[in-house]
Amino acid sequence: MPLSVRIILFGFIGIIAGLIAWPFTEFILFYQASFPSLLLFSMVLGVIIGFLMGGCFGLGEGIISHAYGRIIPGMIMGMVIGTVGGLIGFVIGQAALLLLGTTFFNSVGSFRRFGFPLSKALGWGAFGICIGSIEGIRSKSVNKILIGIAGGLTGGIIGGLVFEYLRVSNPENPYLRLAGLLILGLLIGICYGIFENRMSNASLYLLNGRFKGKEFLLNKRRTSIGKSEQAEIPLEGYRRVADLHAEIIKEKKDYMFMLTEKNEVTQMVTCINDGQTDKKKLSDGDIIRVGSAQLQFRTR
């Protein structure tokens, strides 16, 4: 699977996230009058959207990477962070509304056309940041969090602008709201994928076996390789691979390969460029053998 397909898949996850969030949004909108205040109403709206979309994005990464062990923890983490994201997004949106309304836009007409969608888009940007960082927080990777912030902010602001303009242009049309949510999700997903692609300096390309052709981005400080589902690069279905066989550690610009499970068997089946290795600094094109799997290290 080429790396660019990952971007498309993230976009697809985003669309699904929007699909899930929309019916609940319409439901809450219908009961608008029963809320004691507008503030609470819009907060609840943000939280529900965050919870649902966050959960979807959270489990989506696990599905795309076929790391099935990550799906449930990812979803739970996504729900929590998404809820927080919905709250933060709402607060920032309101603050921006207050600021823009009182300082920049004196005309009611221009406030409605520009000030309102802009403030809300900023709120969605903040929301996107939280959604984007779900994967990074789950895998405790600072680099991934940065990727998520960049991608989520971009996708959130652009998607948020589209969503808000669609809402304002035709307030009675629920299907426009659906379109807006789908586009928001799609953009967050795609922007996340694009930033992930751009901000990863190296990758491992699997040359043989079950997942031949799969390319793994190395964007964490420590990337684990092994048979276990918890490994970042899961090599299930390959022979003589230990649960957590080896690691690639990123130090500044260098990538170090390290054998983590040291025993007679693993030492024999772990080679770089056909030489048995415990530890080595990697160069572009190095062929890493782990058990029956061979991976090519690529710098991008």
Partner 1 sequence: MNRKFSSAVLIIFLSAFFVYADSVTISEIDNSSLLVNQKIKTSINVTDNNGKPILELTRDNFRIFETPEGCVEEEKEIIDFEAGKNMNSGINLLFLVDNSGSMYANDDGSIEDSPDESIWRITHAKNALLSLIKEIKNPKDRTGVVTFNYKTGNIEEPTNKLINIEKALNEISKPEKGEGYTELYECLYESVDIIKNYGGRKIIVLLSDGENFPLENNSVFTERVGIDGAIESARKEGISVFTIGFGREADAESLRKISAGTGGLFFWASNQNDLEKLYSLIREQVLNEYYISYRAGMEAADKKQVRVLYDTGGSTFESRSFYYSDTMFGLPQDKINYLFFILIPIALLLLWLLSLLKFEKKKSGPSLDVLTMNGKKAKMPAMTIVEGRDEIKIGSAKNSDMTIVGDAKISGHEASIKKKNGRYTIMSDSPTGVIVNNRRVKSKGLRSGDLITIGNTTIVFDSGEAAVKTEKKK
Region 81-100 residues binding partner 1, contact defined as CB under 8 A:
94, 97-98
Sheet holding 254-259, edge to edge: 233-234, 222-226, 246-251, 254-259, 279-281
Report if residue 142 touches partner 1, rule: CB under 8 A: no
Q: Which is nearer to partner 1, 103 or 253 (CB)?
A: 103
Report if residue 260 touches partner 1, rule: CB under 8 A: no
Q: Which is nearer to partner 1, 142 or 173 (CB)?
A: 173
Residues 48-77 that bind partner 1 (CB under 8 A): 56, 59-60, 63-64, 66, 68
Tell which one of 7, 14, 16, 54 touches partner 1 (CB under 8 A): 16
Tell which one of 33, 251, 252, 264 touches partner 1 (CB under 8 A): 33
Q: Which is nearer to partner 1, 172 or 251 (CB)?
A: 172
Residues 196-255 that bind partner 1 (CB under 8 A): 207-214, 227, 236-239
Report if residue 113 touches partner 1, rule: CB under 8 A: no
Q: Which is nearer to partner 1, 71 or 145 (CB)?
A: 71
Q: Which is nearer to partner 1, 1 or 268 (CB)?
A: 1
Report if residue 121 touches partner 1, rule: CB under 8 A: no
Report if residue 184 touches partner 1, rule: CB under 8 A: no
Q: Which is nearer to partner 1, 94 or 224 (CB)?
A: 94
